Amino acid sequence: MKRLSFSRRAVAWLCALLLLVSVLPLYALALYNHAFYDDFGFSLLTHDAWQQTGSLAAVVEAAVRNTIGIRQTWEGTYTTSFLSTFQPSIFGDGLYWITTFFLLTVFLLAVGYFLRQTLRGIYGMDRSALVASFGILGFVLVQFVPDAAEAFFWFNGGVAYTLLWSVMLFEAGVWLHFERTTGKARTILLYLFLLVLTVLVGGAKYTTTLFAALLAIVFTGWAFLHQRPKKWAYLSLTLVLLLCFTFSMSAAGNSVRAQTLSGGMSVTKAVLEALYFGLALIGNSFSLPLLAAMILIVPLSIPALKVSGLRFGHPVLVTLLCACLFCAQLAPTLYTGNYLGDGRVLNTYYYTFVLMVAQLVLYWAGWFIRRNEHGLAPLSTFELLFMTAPLRETLSPMDADAPLPAPTQVENPEARKIAGQKFETRLKAATLALAAGMLLLGCMAYHPDRSQSYGPQNMAGGSAFRSIISGEAAQYDKAMDARDEAMNNPILTDVVLTPVEGAPASFMGDALIGDNLDYVISLYADYYNKATVSIAGTEK
C-alpha cells in the first residue's frame, strides 16, 4: 500500500511540476508587456481621475460614471465595463505586467477550486488524484488556448472573457459547495456570497452569462426533481441571474454597437447555427494532449468511482445535455452577426470544452463500473486490466481466450498475490508511458492557426520562452518604454510616434500597426492629454 500511495503522489507531483514549469514563462514575459488601445479607451476617465487626484475613491467614482456612459453608448455588460476601467497602467505605465499575473492566477485558482468541488467533493477522489488532474488539465487549458494574447496578456479583452468566465466557473464550484454545506450560519454566508457572484456574472459578456443561466436552470430543475432541501435558494439565485441578464441586454448601447457589426440574424437561425458550429468546434477541439490527460485521470479516479454513492445512471442523456449547453454559448455572437467571435471568445469555448470532457469521461467511467458491479455487461479489456490484473497474470498466452479460473483453482495464493503486484506495477508504468508519450507527441505536433511551424514553440509557454531568450521581448519593451516616456513628458504637447514592429506572439502588439489608426491616435491624445499625436512618415 505504501508503494501504491507513493506512486500516486509521484504522479501528482509530476503533473503539478509540469503545470508550474509551463506557466513560469508566461509570468516572466508579462514583465515586458504594455497596454493595448482598448485599454486606453475604457480607462480614460479613471486615468484622468488618478492623475488629477491620486485618490482611489475618485477612481472608483470615475469607473461608475464610465460604466453608465458605456451602457448608453456601447453595451450593457456592466461588470466587464466597470472592471475594464481599472487596467493597471492607469496607475503607471510600468505596472501593466499585473495584467497577466491577475488574469492567469485567477483563472488557475478558479479551475482548481472547481475541480476540487467536483473531483473530490462529488466523486470522492483523493488529494493525489486531484492534484494530478489539476496539473494535467491546467497544462492543457493554458498551453493550447486558442489565443494566449487575448486570454492572459490583454487586460480589456482578458477581463471581459477569461476573467468573467473564471468567475462563472468559481460560482459553479460554490453552488456545489453550497449544496453540501450544513449549518445555518455557514449556509447563509455562502448564499450571500453566491448572490454577489451571481450579480457579477449577470453583467458578463452574453456568451458567458447565457451559459451560466442555462447551467443554473438545469441545476435548479434537478434540485426540484429530486426535492433537494435548498431548491428554493437555487431558484432565487437563478431568477436573480436572469434579471441581471435582462438588465444587461436592455441597455440602449447594445443597438448602437449592433450597427457597427455586419448584421445579425433571426433567433431561430442563430440557434440552428449554434448547434452546427458548436458540434464542429467539439470535433475540432479534440487533441492528443487532451486524450493523454483523460488516459491519466481515469485510472486515478477508479478507486473513488467504485466506492462513490453516485449511480451514474444516464450517461447518454448527460452527454447530450452537455453538448447542447456547449453549443448554446455560441448563439449570442452568431445572433449579432459576429460569427464565432474573436480569439478571446474562442478561448472561453475551449475552457468549457476541456472541463466538460473531463467531467463526461469520469461519468462514463462510473457508468461502466456500475454496470459491471450489477452484472449488466461483460468487463471491458480496460477494466479487466485494472480490476482483475492479478488473475490474468496467472494465464499463459495460449489461454488468453479461456475462461478465467475460479479463485479456488489457484493453488498458491501468495504467488498469485506477488504476480498480481508485479503486473499492477507494469500496468501503471505502461499507462504513464502512454499518457506521457501522447502528451509529448501532441506538443511536438502542435500547429495553431496562422503558424508556420509545428512544435512546442507554438504553445503559450513555449512561445513566451522563445520571445524572452531571443531578446524579442526586451527589444519590444525598450521601444514601448521610449514611447511611454515621450507620452508622459508634460513638455511635449505634439508627439510623433513610430510604430513598433516585432512584438512577441503572445502580446497584442502595437495598435499603430493595426486597423482603426485614427481612433488609436485620438485615444493616445486624450489619454495622455496631448494637443496632437501623429505617425512618423505621414502627413499631419
Model pLDDT for residues 376-433, shown as the tens digit of each residue: 554 444 444 444 333 333 333 334 344 444 544 445 676 666 665 665 677 777 888 8
pLDDT band at 258 (very low <50, low <70, confident <90, very high): confident
pLDDT value for 222 = 95
Question: β-strands 494-497, 532-535: how paired?
Answer: parallel
| Domain containing residue 515 | 478-535
pLDDT value for 393 = 36
Q: Is the dihedral of CA 72, 86, 26, 480 positive or negative?
A: positive
Reduced to 3 states, what is the DSSP secondary structure of residue 274?
helix
- Per mean pLDDT, which range of 169-178, 197-206, 362-371, 378-387 is the poorest? 378-387
pLDDT value for 1 = 40
Query: Measuring CA to CA, how many Å separate 218 from each of 46, 403, 454, 503?
Result: 39, 45, 41, 44
pLDDT value for 264 = 66
pLDDT band at 130 (very low <50, low <70, confident <90, very high): very high
Residue 13 and residue 130 in one domain = yes
Q: Is residue 303 part of a domain?
A: yes
Reduced to 3 states, what is the DSSP secondary structure of residue 535?
strand
Residue 209 and residue 347 in one domain = yes
Q: Is residue 460 part of a domain?
A: no
- Per mean pLDDT, which range of 236-245, 391-400, 463-472, 486-495 is the poorest? 391-400
Statement: residue 373 has pLDDT above 80: no
pLDDT band at 260 (very low <50, low <70, confident <90, very high): confident
Statement: residue 354 has pLDDT above 80: yes
Closest CA to 138 of 27, 16, 30, 288: 16
pLDDT in tens, 266-306: 888 889 999 999 999 999 999 999 999 999 999 999 999 99
pLDDT value for 386 = 42
pTM of the model: 0.90
pLDDT value for 461 = 97
Q: Is residue 458 part of a domain?
A: no
> Long-range CB contacts (< 8 A, 24+ apart) of 434-437?
434/292, 434/295, 435/292, 435/293, 435/295, 435/296, 436/292, 437/292
pLDDT value for 126 = 94
pLDDT value for 262 = 61
Among 351, 371, 391, give the residue marking a domain's end: 371
pLDDT band at 242 (very low <50, low <70, confident <90, very high): very high
Q: Is residue 497 part of a domain?
A: yes
Residue 366 and residue 509 in one domain = no
Distance from the Cα of residue 185 to its chain's centroid: 32
Statement: residue 495 has pLDDT above 60: yes
Statement: residue 70 has pLDDT above 60: yes
Average pLDDT over the chain, rounded to an integer? 89
pLDDT in tens, 164-181: 999 999 999 999 999 999
- Per mean pLDDT, which range of 21-25, 309-313, 416-420, 443-447 is the poorest? 416-420
Residue 342 and residue 195 in one domain = yes
Among 354, 371, 388, give the residue marking a domain's end: 371
Among 343, 371, 399, give the residue marking a domain's end: 371
Residue 153 and residue 279 in one domain = yes
Q: Is residue 420 part of a domain?
A: no
Q: Cell for 381?
A: 479489456
Q: Is residue 57 part of a domain?
A: no
Residue 123 and residue 258 in one domain = yes
Q: Count of domains in the chain?
A: 2
Statement: residue 31 has pLDDT above 80: yes
pLDDT band at 366 (very low <50, low <70, confident <90, very high): very high
- Per mean pLDDT, which range of 54-58, 236-240, 268-272 is the poorest? 268-272
Q: Is residue 80 part of a domain?
A: no
Q: Is residue 228 part of a domain?
A: yes
Statement: residue 107 has pLDDT above 80: yes
Statement: residue 40 has pLDDT above 50: yes
pLDDT value for 238 = 98
